Amino acid sequence: MSTGLVAPTVSAPAAARGTTPDRAVRLEGVSKVYGTGDRAQLVLDSIDMRVAPGEFVCLLGASGCGKSTLLNLVAGLDRPSAGDVTVAGGRPALMFQDHALFPWLSAGRNIELALRLAGVPREERRDRAEELLELVRLPGAHRKRVHQLSGGMRQRVALARSLAQGSGILLMDEPFAALDAITRDLLHEELSRVWRERRLTVLFVTHNVREAVRLGQRVVLLSSRPGRVAREWNVDLPFPRRIEDSGVSALATEITGHLHEEIVRHARA
């Protein structure tokens, strides 16, 4: 497919997209320092991390521990002070808490713009935008202006626009943090479905433990000041999952214990 919307799987299609079969994202010895001299702050310290093609990894940590910094490095928006960041198959798509849609464009036009930037020919853009709106369950929203949409609908459009960028790798920085619990739950369902249908590779940042366990195949916990990989868990729970599943809440309880330890340790440091 010329848009590249079909993301890599672990087998042949991954190679066809130019991604190596074993990893879509790799961080090796990545450190990030902000400021210089007395004001230098080590935010990330020797991070080693891999995300396999088609994998959904949640990066979890307390506020200020460096999650957004790490995601920005993977997105290529910033450079590490040390170490290497490798991303297979070009620039990944990014989605933030703030939908960042252009308010003067309709929902459909926002998506079409991303398609245009991804090199999709003009005559295909309208249909592709409609398809993407259907994928995020917003059929008929093409002409709606951003101010006419609810917060949840805006994030659906933002997800569709991210997919329109044509990358198989989606980086998400607390995209649902501003939504109410019910809307967030629906968006979790949609994201999880879209990830499986499109075989995307997702690196999802959150400070919400349940969200991480509900969505991720793997949860990586970052410590604070400096941010280091404190621990990680494989989430061997079947999909589709629900936030209230007993397996989700049991693992979330365990991980919350470790997150609290990190926060307390940091407060004492």
Ligand X SMILES: Nc1ncnc2c1ncn2[C@@H]1O[C@H](COP(=O)(O)OP(=O)(O)O)[C@@H](O)[C@H]1O
Binding positions for Mg ion, rule: CB under 5 A: 68
Cα 76 → chain centroid: 14
- State yes or no: residue 64 binds ligand X (CB under 6 A): yes
User: Residues touching ligand X: how many (CB under 6 A)?
Assistant: 10
Q: What is the widest separation between alpha-carbon atoms in the chain?
A: 60
| Spatial contact of 207 and 227, defined as CB atoms under 8 Å apart | no
Strand (E) or helix (H) holding 31:
strand 25-34
- State yes or no: residue 43 binds ligand X (CB under 6 A): yes
- State yes or no: residue 34 binds ligand X (CB under 6 A): yes
Q: Which CB sits closer to ligand X, 53 or 61?
A: 61
- State yes or no: residue 66 binds ligand X (CB under 6 A): yes
Q: Name the residue among 93, 70, 72, 91 with its Cα closest to residue 158.
A: 93
Picked from Mg ion, ligand X, none, the partner binding residue 64 (CB below 5 to 8 A depending on kind) is ligand X
From the list 2-10, 66-74, 90-98, 104-112, the region that binds ligand X by CB under 6 A is 66-74
Q: Prior bond to 240 cis, omega within 30?
A: yes
Q: How far is the CB of 72 from Mg ion (least distance, A)?
A: 9
Distance CA 250, CA 256 (A): 10
Q: How far is the CB of 64 from ligand X (least distance, A)?
A: 4
Beta bridge partners of 95: 172
Q: Which CB sits closer to ligand X, 190 or 232?
A: 232
Candidate residues 49, 52, 65, 95; the one interacting with ligand X per rule CB under 6 A = 65
The 8-class DSSP code of residue 173 comes to: E
Q: Which amino acid is at 145?
A: R
- State yes or no: residue 95 binds ligand X (CB under 6 A): no
Residues forming the site for ligand X (CB under 6 A): 34, 43, 61, 63-69
